[in-house]
Amino acid sequence: MKSLVLILLVFVCSLSHAETEYRMQQALSDCQEGKYSEAIETYETILSEGRESATLYYNLGYAYYKSGKLGKAILNMERSRRLNPNDPDVEANLEQAYSMTDQMQTLEPVFLVRWWRSFTNIMSSDGWAWTFVVLFVLVLLGASGFLFTDTVAIRKLGFFSAIVSVVLAVIAITISIDKRGEIIDGQDAIIMSASVTMTTSPDKNGSEMAVLHEGTHVEILSELGEWIEVKLKDGNVGWMKKTDVEVI
C-alpha cells in the first residue's frame, strides 16, 4: 500500500513538473513572438504557485524589460542573479537595464572591492557551503596524517594541509553565510515608482536630498511607519516611502 502511495506521489509530481515546463516554454514562445504581456502573466502565475528559479526570474525580467517596465525588469533580474551568480546573460542585461536609469549614486568601487565581489560571486551560497564541507574533510584527512603517521614528511604535509584547509574552510563558510543572509534578509530593493524624492527625515517636511527614478538600487537600513531609511551606492542616506520600492 505504501509503495502504491509513493508511486502515485511521484506520478503527480512528475505531471506537475511537466505542466510547469510546458507553461514556461509557452511563455518563452510568447516572448519570441513579442507577446510580452501574455508571457509576464504566465511567469507571474508560476511564481504565485511557489515555484521559482533563476531562469524563471530572468525570463520574467526580460519580458518586463521589453515591455518598458524598467523597475520590474531590474528587480527580477537581480533575483535571478542571487540564485545564479555570474550568469553572463543576466550580468549583461542588468548592465544594459541599469544604464537606462539615473544611477547617479553609483560609483565604481575600488579594485579590491571589485575583486572580492567577483570572487564571492563565483558560486552561490550553497556552492560555498559545499566547498566548506570538502575543505572540512581535507582538514580531517590532514589531521589524521599528522596524528596517526610516523613518517615525518607525511606528518608535515598533513599539518600544513590541515592549517591551510582550516583557513580556506573559514573563508568559505563565512561567504556562504553572508550570501545566504543577503537572500534571507532581503534588505536590497529597487525603486518601482517613476520618480521618488529622497528626503533628510521621515516626513513631508524633510529637506529634499535627491530625485531618484524607476530602477534605482537602494539598501534598506530601517523602517519607521510608512517610511524607510535607505542608503545609495555612493553612501548617501535618506528617507522615502516604502510603497515606492520592492525588496529584491
Please report which confidence band the pLDDT of residue 4 belongs to, taking 50, 70 and 90 as the band edges. Answer: very low
Helix axes of 70-83 and 54-66: crossing angle, nearest 10 degrees: 160
Helix axes of 36-48 and 2-32: crossing angle, nearest 10 degrees: 160
The span from the CA of 94 to the CA of 90, in Å, is 6
DSSP-derived secondary structure letter, 108: P
How far is the CA of 125 from the CAs of 2, 43, 138, 175, in angstroms?
A: 36, 25, 20, 7
What does the pLDDT read at residue 114?
Answer: 66
- Helix and strand tally (H, E) in the chain? 8, 7
Mean pLDDT of 59-79: 94
| Residue pLDDT, tens place only, 142-192 | 999 888 888 888 899 999 999 999 999 999 999 988 877 666 555 889 999
The pTM for the full model equals: 0.62
Edge-to-edge strand list for the sheet holding 245-247: 208-213, 195-199, 237-241, 227-231, 217-224, 188-191, 245-247
Of residues 20 and 16, more confidence is placed in 20
The span from the CA of 214 to the CA of 216, in Å, is 6
The residues pairing with 212 across neighbouring beta strands, listed in sequence order, are 196
Which residue in this structure is represented by grid cell 555612493? 234
Cα–Cα nearest to 236, from 97, 98, 99, 107? 107
Asked if pLDDT for residue 221 goes beyond 90, the answer is no
The span from the CA of 65 to the CA of 23, in Å, is 20
User: What is the chain's percent helix, strand, coil content, to nearest 5?
Assistant: 60, 15, 25
Of residues 178 and 10, more confidence is placed in 178
Element spanning 239, H or E: strand 237-241
Of residues 185 and 76, more confidence is placed in 76
Mean pLDDT of 22-51: 92
Q: Which three cell numbers stand for residue 102?
A: 539615473
Of residues 226 and 16, more confidence is placed in 226
DSSP-derived secondary structure letter, 149: -
Please report which confidence band the pLDDT of residue 113 belongs to, taking 50, 70 and 90 as the band edges. Answer: low
Mean pLDDT of 98-123: 67
Look at residue 174 and give its three-state secondary structure.
Answer: helix
What does the pLDDT read at residue 185?
Answer: 57
Nearest-5° Cα angle at 96, 92 to 97? 115
What does the pLDDT read at residue 105?
Answer: 41
